[in-house]
Amino acid sequence: MNSALIVILLFLLLSIYLGLQARRGKTMNLEQWSTGGRSFGTLFVFLLSAGEIYTTFTFLGGSGWAYGKGGPAFYILWYGALAYILSYWMLPAIWRYAKQHNLLSQSDFFVAKYNSPALGVLVSLIGIIAMIPYLVTQLKGLGAIMEIASYGSISSTLAVWIGVIAVTIYVMASGVHGTAWTAVLKDGLVLVVVVFLGIYLPVHYYGGIGQMFHAIDQAKPGYLALPATGNSVYWFISTVLLTALGFYTWPHAFQAVYTAKNEQTFRRNAMVFPLYQLILLFVFFVGFAAILTVKPPLQGSAGDNSLLILSVQTFPKWVVGLIGASGLLCAIVPGSMLLMTSATMISKNLYKVINPKASEESVSRLAHYLVPVVALVALYFTFNGQTIVALLLMGYSLVTQFFPAIVFSFMKRNPITKWGAIFGILAGELVVAYTTITSKTVGLLLPFMPQWVKDLNIGIVAMVINLVVTFAVSAFTRGAGAQARTAINA
Amino acid sequence: MKWLAALPFLALVVGMFFANRTEPYVLGLPFILFWTVLWVVLTSVIMFIVYKTDPVNRGGDRS
């Protein structure tokens, strides 16, 4: 057994231990399990949200983008910062409403706001379709990280199984409490590892960060800025704005909001988060450092492995082990949140709607037993998924379509009705699905438009159609909605 | 003071047209990356000012 493997396994055992001990002293009813009994302080809420930023996608994808695309990678830093600004006003409102109405899942929010279990079913189904591929990406990343970091002594298949079993055990036992505790370990380790790599590698290979950028610019002129067409400034801006809207519409990010003890937490986090995000800067540095040092150059999606390959090429085994352990934690912390959120939604917003007489205990028990079921589905797609790639690209765009229905519901007089919300979301999702599966861009859809319109993120089209349908249907169904409201108020 | 929070959006939507360049390097970073990092830091500063001047945050924690 090599020392890299020993380090990875130690962190795996430590995370299982932390995940299991998290349940101590708590009665695990569904509210404790899925929202931590709304008792989390600033640090836990912070780390739960951070769990969504530092996933294997950021760890491998962030460096992969810097390596393979250069300047366009910087969009990742922008959208986070803008999303945190929105969070200052959005999250306290969501939290307050969730507490008043005892909400457990994101779908519960739609059910309560629009007084429509049908909307809850729709949102749950879309949420699950978006979350499973997200989970699959985490698992695939986990497999790649562990295989490379263990120098091939653990196959990626075995690594995925080990990771899934570990997560399933502690999610079933502790729910979101387990996620929060393992998130402490994860962010601590990732912070140290990423900052170290981001400074050491440029200095070691180029003599400094400035020298590194100059060398890259000399070898590939213009690579560090945005190109004139394609991933242009127009692409950049539209992508940042869209992804900022989608940041908190992920069901697991939304549900994590419910765990807070009070609403001050979110306003405080909105100050700290943008700075904390700068960890990503160091992830970029690693990707850039790999550009002129990894030989032969990695092609296409293999660029995602640039961080790992450069590390193996540079460091002793135990350091690679620490990097592997960070990658492992980056997969299992968000993975656990995704599993728990999916299970809660299936049980509460699908099963309970079909079977309204089900007792709270049985809904809670079902949610626990659904964890291994969802995990097995994700495993299936991890090992057999070719088509899943199309879904992956879609996930973010799918959940972004929830944004209008969420924001309008906080206006004093909600301008949209439940039918408006239902058909608007459906229309937006259909556009997302069609354009993703047929890989349409704005340029292909509207070839007569000027270049800058062609470069816009295709999600803009889906959002516009969503809004148009939402308002059109709301205008037609307004009467019925108003009557229903008066009936409730009377 | 909460309108300060619109500045990072402007820095993106308007600023990126001017900031999309490699030269000049600032602190060793190509200009586009420096502009990005600068606004990430300023976003934290702005949200600090918003927090401190927002009457909601007076009087400590409410639950």
A24-42 pLDDT, tens digit each:
877 778 888 888 888 888 8
> Tell me, what's the pLDDT at B35?
94
Residue B62 lies in a domain: no
Residue B50 lies in a domain: yes
Contact A216, A287 (CB under 8 A): no
Which of B20, B30, B47 is closest, CB to CB, to A213?
A: B30
Q: What residues in chain A have per-residue pLDDT under 70?
A: 1, 52-53, 300, 385-393, 479-490
Residue B46 lies in a domain: yes
Could you check whether the bond before residue A72 is cis, i.e. omega within 30 degrees of 0? no
> Tell me, what's the pLDDT at A480?
57
Residue B1 lies in a domain: no
Distance (Å, whole) CA A173 – CA A22: 9
Chain B contact set for A233 (CB, 8 A): 16-17, 20
Residue B15 lies in a domain: yes
Residues of the domain holding B28:
6-54
> Tell me, what's the pLDDT at A490?
40
> Tell me, what's the pLDDT at B5?
86
Whether the predicted pLDDT of B38 surpasses 90: yes
Which of B13, B47, B63 is closest, CB to CB, to A270?
A: B47
> Tell me, what's the pLDDT at A386?
56
Residue B23 lies in a domain: yes
Which of A224, A241, A263 is closest, CB to CB, to B30?
A: A224
Task: Tell me if chain B has a CB within 8 Å of the CB of A262.
Answer: yes
Enumerate helices (H) and strands (E) in chain B, giving the number of each.
3, 0
> Tell me, what's the pLDDT at A489?
47
Residues 6+ apart with CB under 8 A from A262: B61, B62, B63
In angstroms, what CA-CA distances link B3 with A228, A253, A266?
32, 26, 19
* Chain B: closest CA distance from residue A146 (Å): 31
Domain boundary assignment for chain A: 3-382, 401-490
Q: Stretch B5-21: mean pLDDT, rounded?
A: 86
Residue B43 lies in a domain: yes
Interface contacts A/B by beta carbons within 8 Å:
111
Give the total number of structural domains in chain B.
1
Residue B39 lies in a domain: yes
> Tell me, what's the pLDDT at A482?
53
Distance (Å, whole) CA A171 – CA A179: 7
- CATH level 3 topology of A3-382: Sodium/glucose cotransporter (1.20.1730)
Distance (Å, whole) CA A243 – CA A82: 9
